[in-house]
Amino acid sequence: MAVLIAGVDFSAATDLRRGQLWCAWGWLVGRRLRLMGLERVWQRETLVVRIRDQPGHWGIDAPMGLPVGVYPLLGWRDAPEAISRVAAMTRTDFRGLLARYGLREERRCRAPGLTCRYADAYLQGLSPFKRTNPDMQMLVHASFSLLDRLRGLGVRVYPYDPQPTDGVSAVYEVYPSAVWRLLGFRRRQVDLQPALARIAWALRLQVELAGLGESPTQDAADAVLAAVAVGWAVAQAEVAEWHRKPASLTEEEWAVRAWEGAVIGPRMT
């Protein structure tokens, strides 16, 4: 049975006047992912409608949780409450809230703490409170606003919501940069063909680009890798049962999932 798989590069969501989101989508049958389209998405609401109306597994390259230590500081119970509270704020108000508590980290994450999630540290990613190059603070605001809208429409967000039934979309956090590193690339690739053989060998996932060929931008290539990450997780049965820890996640990450979320996809071991 074919399953819809989609990956979204969300980096332009901080300022859609300067760019666009990218969405790669296709069908997964067994361990074969056939990507049928790589498309620009000019408005966030367009993405909302697509996710709602095209049931499947959607991987988005954006934070879906905050470091567990900030919740007592802010007086928030868990990530779902954080999502709704941040979505209700203006960008300026959210920025001011973070500044009030000194929540800013420009260095790459090396250890979990007040400004870095366990997954951020494990994957050597960026703090959700980084402010420049890129502005992760505003990416968090855009991501939480999107998630709040989707949850209001019945879309399920992993790992906070009940597992969806047939006909309901699921949304996951993915981290394409970690997949690029796993495949041995130091930088994102515009020409995707060299990555395919490595994906097949390293991930045991056959990916067909179905005429996509070369992606026009690095952000577009990240959308393809976002789809690969979520396609791998589905093929690997990593998210077959939402109440069980995926084999790729550490015990520490799983223990704090109610606050920090969970980044799915293949990893170095």
The better pLDDT of the pair 119, 16 is held by 119
Tally of CB atoms within 10 A around 118: 25
With a cut of 90, say whether residue 144 has pLDDT above it: yes
The predicted pLDDT at position 14 comes to 87
**Residue with tokens 């703090």, as numbered in its chain:** 127
Question: Is residue 269's pLDDT more than 70?
Answer: no
pLDDT at 185: 85
Half-sphere exposure of 134 (CA within 13 A, CB side): 15
**Quick one: average pLDDT of 201-206?**
92
Q: How far apart are CA 241 and CA 267, in angstroms?
A: 20
Which residues lie below 8 Å from residue 215, measured CB to CB, with a gap of 6+? 38, 190, 191, 192, 221, 223, 224
Average pLDDT over residues 223-233: 96
CA nearest neighbour of 221 among 257, 186, 193? 193
- Model confidence at 25: pLDDT above 80: yes
Provide, rounded to the nearest whole percent, the portion of the chain with pLDDT above 70. Answer: 94
Task: Report the percent of the chain where pLDDT is more than 90.
Answer: 81
Which residue segment(s) compose the domain that 6 sits in? 1-269
Side chain identity at 269, as an amino acid letter?
T
| Count of structural domains, the chain | 1
Residues 47-102: tens digit of each pLDDT:
999 999 999 999 999 999 999 999 999 999 999 999 999 999 999 999 999 999 99
Q: Which amino acid is at 24?
A: A
User: Quick one: pLDDT band at residue 217, thresholds 50, 70, 90?
Assistant: confident
Q: Binning pLDDT at 50, 70 and 90, where does residue 216 land?
A: confident
Q: Can you give the pLDDT at residue 211?
A: 60
pLDDT band, residue 15 (cuts 50/70/90): confident
Question: Is the Cβ–Cβ distance between 26 and 227 less than 8 Å?
Answer: yes
Q: State residue 268's pLDDT score.
A: 76
